[in-house]
Structure 1
């Protein structure tokens, strides 16, 4: 699913990721949390289903997933995603050994969660996932927290997690932004290292705090897991590792106005990746992003949200350049995402998202076929995604509450440019519009 040929350098595995794969792997509204708090899913999630958080949901996450109603509850949940995906033109080869060139009906994901309160100050979730596309089971997302409230009402805590940005309380960074689920079976586009490039390959600890009810600050470090752990527990075989601890920093302004909520912030992440353990050369990725979001909540009958993020990545490719895998020793990559949604009665949703990726021309990184008039070595991709969905359960009066939840949705993604071009972007006659995808899904948690 990478835009690179098999066997290419580490950048192909880490810096260019298929965004839909990552989106489909996220943890969402978990009924075990609803059972723990005694509240409906709609209390914490817009549209009665995750991962969009209300201010109440943000507070629950910042407090370490520890709020409860004083009663014992079962700290386990499950999630199943079934889907059907159709692209405008058949792929040149099946995306996995277990799929077809087009019109793939798939039991896309089955996940189990241990999720809930461990003590008055410790809580979190751990996810194990079976992928229907790849027929494998692996450890997925992890976020375990310690949190406490100081005398001045500041919330402070520590998160141990395995994906930079997974611990963030807002729905603007790549780990939690729209689309929240999508097909795993379309070609992948270039993405920044913060956009899931190290997801499930690292473990990190970050300290965070919400001060004066408005200022959110967070900082921490990430390190690569051992190859033995990645192979046996994560079912991943990466080609490289972090050469040193990777720092992560976040600063945001947040305001809960009850009927409205607003956030705006900056994020930074630096990773030095060593592709070859026999060489001291590394590839350096410096990500700096800005983001903002606004929610209109009103009486919760009509909910509108607008969110956006921009991430700029500077790449210093000493290892790839020395190995002949990049044409230039430095490069940049930029990602812009803007999304808006409307939810009626916590049941019916409509979301529109626009995305644009641009970057430096590099005939080594992006492997064009220059003599055929293809992408000329550029990562540029842009288009939009529209989704309509129905969430019949998740409210207090719903059937099966708080044990059952389901969302049924239809999503369409249109590409005006893909991996550098609008036409013949891969040198074999494939156009950007050939990847336009209609994706239907049934997504349930219990």
Structure 2
């Protein structure tokens, strides 16, 4: 793993929490973001216990019908106090704590202090009766992985999760059918069961890695980082059977390239986050059952990713590059996923499980100067990785909640990809308990702690090598006091 991915940069403070809370108290407690204003629904109608981003059955239907439920805002003659344009803002801040040294001051991880971390702007909703959008722009103060020099820790601002949907719903006495299509900039953004990516129930993560990040499959990692644009279609039959097919590709020019936020490049020496320049298919099939306050989903997911090495461009004398039309690494991901929900005030419960198996064909294994999507050069021509994720969340009265998540990775040894041990084991395991309080529907305060039971195949002792020193898995334990505010 790259050193820059192991320990991130994150700051924040309890004063920030109090300051934000005082702002919310002075505002209308019924103020809610874009989609809620459009539909007139409270947060708990579409989100489990009001805890975004977990969707209830109604929330799933809202997304599957193209964000078109409710009335389209009339932007002519808005009254400042009574009407709102279709925009919203989200602010996140935190105070992060590191276990491996006092104050977390270990080179790459600065001492924690008061700071806001992320600001997101949202727009979208109903455009026509069948067409709608979800658009997000995000500024991050600590998103750069550079750890030294004038640009160390420099932030970024770019387009984030963005999707345009067309949907048509036909309801008869014997049938309920939704047919839809979408264009978005993140594989699995279409997920309505909160099993993948940004929509996992753990809505907030350690800023700029923050803690030690485990190995991940291409599907769950790079493909979900706004570096490609996809077009797909789906159906949802009788609220029971769901099917979806899409194709993703990294555009290098044209109107869709703006959706990749500048994360792709083709010039020599460029270092794009990804080079998904060959069309890569994604699929999702699921069975859904709803009865009373309960719902259950079980599904199959997968993606075949065709990825060029980095850098991509024109070779010069004595220099190797990855070439369009040349060798392509493939990442074949397939897995199972499931969700269960119980939604009946004052009790709200949700659980998710996912297992994804990846087979890697490393086209540039042992080729100096050319790396994979993580900036690493594989030792083996082929590798495999299995990623497991499980979580459970309970919310009481849409105010008080707790969550426990478990993540595990196993796979083949490759010292080029997993360099914290000489054996190159990818085997990691971690637990993350999270408690939170939501005094208002647009304010959440919480505390989360991640502890590692395995890292690099090491369960205990000091068998991990990092930065010239030896560590145990527990050395990378990380916790965070956080606040999230959306309006």
TM-score by length of structure 2 reads 0.78
Matches of 2:406 and 2:259, distance apart in 1: 38
Is 2:251 the counterpart of 1:212?
A: no
Matches within 5 A, 1:343-422: 343-368=395-420, 370=422, 376-394=423-441, 405-422=442-459
**Structure 1 position 156, deviation (Å):** 1.0
Partner of 2:193: 170
Segment drifting more, 225-234 vs 266-275? 225-234
Is 2:182 the counterpart of 1:159?
A: yes
Partner of 1:272: 306
Is 2:476 the counterpart of 1:429?
A: no
Residue 61 of structure 1, aligned match among 60, 63, 66: 63
Residue 85 of structure 2, aligned match among 74, 81, 103: 74
Unaligned 5+ runs, structure 2: 11-30, 75-83, 144-154, 264-270, 314-321, 371-376
Segment drifting more, 378-387 vs 218-227? 218-227
Structure 2 residue matching 1:60: 3-state secondary structure: helix
> Which whole-Å deviations, capped at 9, do the CAs of 1:28-48 have from their partners, x for residues lacking one?
x97110000011111100121
Q: 1:368 to 1:244 in 2, by over 3 A?
A: same
Partner of 2:261: 234
Partner of 1:402: none
1:243–1:273 contact (8 Å) kept in structure 2: yes
Aligned residues, how many?
A: 408
Segment drifting more, 379-388 vs 276-285? 276-285
Q: Rg larger in 1 or in 2?
A: 2
Residue 287 of structure 2, aligned match among 246, 253, 257: 253
Matches of 1:287 and 1:104, distance apart in 2: 40
Q: 1:369 to 1:355 in 2, by over 3 A?
A: closer
Q: 1:345 to 1:234 in 2, by over 3 A?
A: same
2:391–2:405 contact (8 Å) kept in structure 1: yes
Is 2:123 the counterpart of 1:118?
A: no
Q: 1:40 to 1:293 in 2, by over 3 A?
A: same
Is 2:483 the counterpart of 1:442?
A: yes
By relative contact order (CA 8 Å, sep 6+), the higher-ranking structure is: 1
Segment drifting more, 430-439 vs 62-71? 62-71
Residue 96 of structure 2, aligned match among 69, 82, 85: 85
Matches of 1:123 and 1:19, distance apart in 2: 36
Aligned Cα RMSD in Å? 2.6
2:72–2:126 contact (8 Å) kept in structure 1: no
1:242–1:273 contact (8 Å) kept in structure 2: yes
Partner of 1:12: none
**Structure 1 position 231, deviation (Å):** 9.0
Q: 1:246 to 1:322 in 2, by over 3 A?
A: same
**Structure 1 position 293, deviation (Å):** 0.9
1:17–1:196 contact (8 Å) kept in structure 2: no
> Which whole-Å deviations, capped at 9, do the CAs of 1:233-279 have from their partners, x for residues lacking one?
72535165124100001100011213101000000101010114443
Structure 2 residue matching 1:175: 3-state secondary structure: helix
Matches of 1:101 and 1:124, distance apart in 2: 38
TM-score by length of structure 1 reads 0.85
Matches of 1:19 and 1:293, distance apart in 2: 31
Residue 49 of structure 2, aligned match among 47, 64, 76: 47
Unaligned 5+ runs, structure 1: 7-15, 22-28, 371-375, 395-404
Residue 188 of structure 1, aligned match among 213, 217, 224: 213
1:301–1:345 contact (8 Å) kept in structure 2: yes
